[in-house]
Amino acid sequence: GQNIDQPTEMTATEGAIVQINCTYQTSGFNGLFWYQQHAGEAPTFLSYNVLDGLEEKGRFSSFLSRSKGYSYLLLKELQMKDSASYLCAVSSNTGKLIFGQGTTLQVKP
């Protein structure tokens, strides 16, 4: 089976940096994904890691350690519009994509 853990809520200040952690256990692994979901909207893709290391895309970076079953999403230069839920998701060998419960990030001025 698969199990994904991430914090339920986080708060950070505008302009700061925040790191959202995700740990996972899976019987097969074909990549880890981060999605952003604003309240009342559909999730949108942020990043994909299949190999160990850091993937950087603008203000957002994502890190993966397959041996530790660990990933994090790093958000730099936080803006108010970054207030959203951040979903960690793991893909199995069959293509099934399982999501964690999501981390609600609140950015304060």
Partner 1 sequence: GAGVSQTPSNKVTEKGKYVELRCDPISGHTALYWYRQSLGQGPEFLIYFQGTGAADDSGLPNDRFFAVRPEGSVSTLKIQRTERGDSAVYLCASSPLGGAYPTGELFFGEGSRLTVL
- Asked if residue 107 lies in contact with residue 14, where contact means CB atoms within 8 angstroms, the answer is yes
How far apart are alpha carbons 99 and 43 in whole angstroms? 11
User: Interface with partner 1 includes 48 (CB under 8 A)?
Assistant: yes
User: Closer CB to partner 1, residue 16 or residue 50?
Assistant: 50
Encoded tokens for 77: 């230069």
Q: Residue count at the site for partner 1 (CB under 8 A)?
A: 25
Residue corresponding to tokens 């994502």: 62
Q: Which of 27, 53, 58, 95 binds partner 1 (CB under 8 A)?
A: 95
Which residues contribute to the site for partner 1 (CB under 8 A)? 30-31, 33, 35, 41-45, 48, 50, 87, 89, 91, 93-102, 104
